A and B are shown apart, each in its own frame.
Chain A
Amino acid sequence: MSDCIIRVKDLTKSFGDKVVLKNINLEVKKGEFVTILGPSGCGKTTLLRLIAGFHVADEGVIEMNGQDLTGMPPHKRALNTVFQRYALFPHLDVFNNVAFGLKLKNVPKEEIEKRVRKVLKMVCMTDYEDRDVNSLSGGQQQRIAIARALINQPEVLLLDEPLAALDLKMRKDMQIELKEMHQKLGITFIYVTHDQEEALTLSDTIVVMNEGVIQQIGSPIDIYNEPQNSFVADFIGESNILNATMIKDHRVSFINKEFDCVDEGFGENVPVDVVVRPEDIHIQDDKSKAVFFGKVTSCIFKGVHYEMLVTTNEGFELLVQDYRYYPVDSEIGMSIRPEDIQVMKKERICNTFEGTMVSANEVEMLDGARFTCNDTGLSAGTKVKVEVDFDKIDMLDDKDAGATSAQVTAILYKGDHYHLTISTYEGDKLYVDTQDVWDKNDIVGVAIKPEDLRVIKAE
């Protein structure tokens, strides 16, 4: 494609043993506002720094206008960066900060003055030329940082959480200004943030990242309405994520009820996840139109709407938003429209580990942990695949009590149980369904009953 300005191909980066980016592929179109969105530590800043040239990739290529940037130092790249903590030069005044790039290029003095004035006007900082940058407020410093980058007329502007340090009101104002600036200048913006609302407000395209992997690329509307997996659904906005079964095309069952939906092609009786946004659960005052019923357990006023927790008669807890007020303990009937049900393929339906038999009824997996299993008749040293259902892993308070220990790294509420991701010290992941409440970063012991290990000889 000719209008593609930045192309990232199979990019991989590690720091020491820690893999930060795994096989990243991304295309950015000329003039686009692309936001890289993800929780802290997901690798989004590393990706931006690789594009800027501050890090060198282990594998993969970054191209700009079809030219490979590998090995090109940052000062030769035709892009500029706005840093999170502004990174203004404290020993220079506003004028000299903004003029820094032009002075290096030996642009004539009169032109520098003209361009500095012009760019300062654009960021609403006219008449601040002689001010000491340390005397400016956070928002003003950020404007100067943006002016300092824009004056070089880069083809691509990289922004690393530029608004993270500002207060809410200032952040909202700057968001609007950034959006206007982008439309006026027509240059490409690559914007990194962990704030999903900011991403939805600003972007043409959102790239959702988690643990060094791109989860989904799409327009804000796509990302919000059609999340491709439970991580994206959970990270963007409020959502009810539930276990479901695809009965057949256009028919799905969850919370012990059957619903019509618009999704197809999953097969018949296939386990899936569904996402229903809280504003898409409609409270029906006319009980004959309701599909399922429940009782309000909490109701909080949120300004525009009320946010309610509802326990259905079948025992599932749902988050519901409505403009109308329903007091706690009121019985309500609810329905969901077919197009508001987003069906997602399950990333996995059980845990799968690779292991080695130690004896006929003992298997070693997860970096040396030994688990007892039913007699398999396999000889020691046989390579095997072990499957364990999500709800068959026991988490113990005492981290030394189980066969191995692990740390809770992600928690997803699925209406009637929690779906946890727990990681061993070596980084292997286990997925556990549990009724118990755990906190993120809890360290737990892991035990599995012998009869719950399904040991299959590996080919």
Chain B
Amino acid sequence: MIKKMLAQAYIWLLLIILYAPIIIIAIFSFTNSKVLGNWTGFSTDLYVNLFTGGVNNSLIRAIQSTLFIAVVAATISTFLGTVAAIGITKWHGTKKKIITFLNDIPMLNPDIITGISLFILFVAVGLSQGYTTVILSHIAFCTPYVVLSVMPRLTQMNPNIYEAALDLGATPWQAFRKVLIPELKGGMVSGWILSLTLSIDDFAVTLFTKGNEGLETLSTYIYADARKGGLTPELRALMTIIFVTVLVLLIIINIRANKAAKKN
């Protein structure tokens, strides 16, 4: 009994330590004091300011860039990752092991190394840094995750399905569109959502590849802002929104995964 209670207490303590900072920010996003920790009464001013442009324009621009980069990178990664996964499952033995190992490396590689190496690459090929380089880098680190989320569906799939479509008169492209894509849709959507959150979240790689033409994403903006002397209060509202959004996305991914597991 006591053992059980201790175990329960332990898990709650862990959860509190994990979530306390976020909860504090969420609570203090509903007061308009300049300094975090000062409660000056309930107010939704911070949220209103955030959306009516009361804050400086650069924050709104950063949000826009972040979303634009995330959507473009996630979409392209999903396409590339799906095609790659289809190719990989056609291989067997050592060849397959090597390629899946190579696919795992970018995910385990520290972001800082990915960032610096991409920076050196872009300088070497003379690509001017800005949207293009940030999107390219985000595609580079998102694609392996898409491969990973599409692969299990492919290996579970009856390999004859694609052939059956060809056999019934579908061209390879029609078979891909009408049979493979619907089958892989679940994995592709999970991969896309995962890429989106990874891209929005990224700081290290973006910092090294955004150049100095004034492109800022949310993470680099907040970093710069914090160094200038304290967080802009509106950021508390923004962080709360981002946290809730990510939470909702995660719940969607989990529900989808559960559904897929039940179906099999």
Measured CB to CB, the residues of A under 8 A from B are 52-54, 73-75, 80-81, 83-91, 100-101, 104-105, 134, 148-149, 152
Q: B167 to A75, Cβ gap below 8 A?
A: yes
Among B133-141, B143-151, B156-164, B228-236, which stretch is in contact with chain A?
A: B156-164
Q: What chain B residues lie within 8 Å of A152 (beta carbons)?
A: 168-169
A-B pairs, top 7 by smallest CB distance, nearest first, are A87-B160, A101-B168, A87-B164, A91-B182, A74-B166, A83-B160, A81-B167
A38 to B34, CA, bound (A): 82
Q: What chain A residues lie within 8 Å of B178 (beta carbons)?
A: 100
Q: What chain B residues lie within 8 Å of A74 (beta carbons)?
A: 163, 166-167
A interface footprint on B172-199 (CB within 8 Å = 1, 0 otherwise): 1011001100110000000000000000
**Which one of B158, B166, B179 contacts A85 once the chains associate, using CB atoms below 8 Å?**
B158
Is there a chain A Cβ closer than 8 Å to B170's Cβ? yes
Q: What chain A residues lie within 8 Å of B182 (beta carbons)?
A: 89, 91
Q: Of all chain B residues, which has the CB nearest A77? A: B167
Q: Give the tally of cross-chain contacts (CB within 8 A).
A: 65
Q: A89 to B163, Cβ gap below 8 A?
A: no
A90 to B178, CA, bound (A): 12
Q: What chain B residues lie within 8 Å of A101 (beta carbons)?
A: 168-169
Q: What chain A residues lie within 8 Å of B164 (beta carbons)?
A: 81, 83, 87-89, 148
Q: A73 to B163, Cβ gap below 8 A?
A: no
Q: What chain B residues lie within 8 Å of A90 (beta carbons)?
A: 161, 183
**Apart from A73-B166, A87-B164, what are 10 other A-B pairs with CB-CB below 8 Å?**
A74-B166, A75-B168, A75-B170, A75-B172, A87-B163, A89-B164, A89-B165, A104-B168, A149-B168, A152-B168
A57 to B122, CA, bound (A): 46
Is there a chain A Cβ closer than 8 Å to B171's Cβ? yes
Q: A75 to B163, Cβ gap below 8 A?
A: no
Measured CB to CB, the residues of B under 8 A from A are 158, 160-161, 163-172, 174-175, 178-179, 182-183, 263
A83 to B168, CA, bound (A): 12
Q: B166 to A75, Cβ gap below 8 A?
A: yes
Q: Of all chain B residues, which has the CB nearest A151? A: B168
Q: B161 to A105, Cβ gap below 8 A?
A: no
Q: What chain A residues lie within 8 Å of B183 (beta carbons)?
A: 89-91
B184 to chain A, nearest CB (A): 10
A207 to B168, CA, bound (A): 26
A74 to B165, CA, bound (A): 9
Q: What chain A residues lie within 8 Å of B158 (beta carbons)?
A: 85-87
Q: What chain B residues lie within 8 Å of A83 (beta carbons)?
A: 160, 163-164
Q: Of all chain A residues, which has the CB nearest B163? A: A54
Q: What chain A residues lie within 8 Å of B174 (beta carbons)?
A: 104
Q: Of all chain A residues, which has the CB nearest B157? A: A90
A64 to chain B, nearest CB (A): 14
B260 to chain A, nearest CB (A): 12
A6 to B168, CA, bound (A): 19
A72 to chain B, nearest CB (A): 12
**Which one of A81, A89, A134 contacts B161 once the chains associate, using CB atoms below 8 Å?**
A89
A165 to chain B, nearest CB (A): 12
- Listed A/B pairs (30) with beta-carbon separation below 8 Å: A53-B166, A54-B163, A73-B166, A73-B171, A73-B172, A74-B163, A74-B166, A75-B167, A75-B168, A75-B170, A80-B167, A80-B168, A81-B164, A83-B163, A85-B160, A87-B158, A87-B160, A87-B161, A90-B161, A90-B183, A91-B183, A100-B165, A100-B178, A101-B169, A104-B168, A104-B169, A104-B170, A105-B169, A148-B168, A152-B168
Q: What chain A residues lie within 8 Å of B170 (beta carbons)?
A: 75, 100, 104
**Which one of A75, A88, A89, A91 contacts B169 once the chains associate, using CB atoms below 8 Å?**
A75
A394 to B172, CA, bound (A): 55
A89 to B168, CA, bound (A): 12
Q: What chain A residues lie within 8 Å of B161 (beta carbons)?
A: 87, 89-90
Q: B168 to A100, Cβ gap below 8 A?
A: yes
A91 to B179, CA, bound (A): 8
B171 to chain A, nearest CB (A): 6
B5 to chain A, nearest CB (A): 45
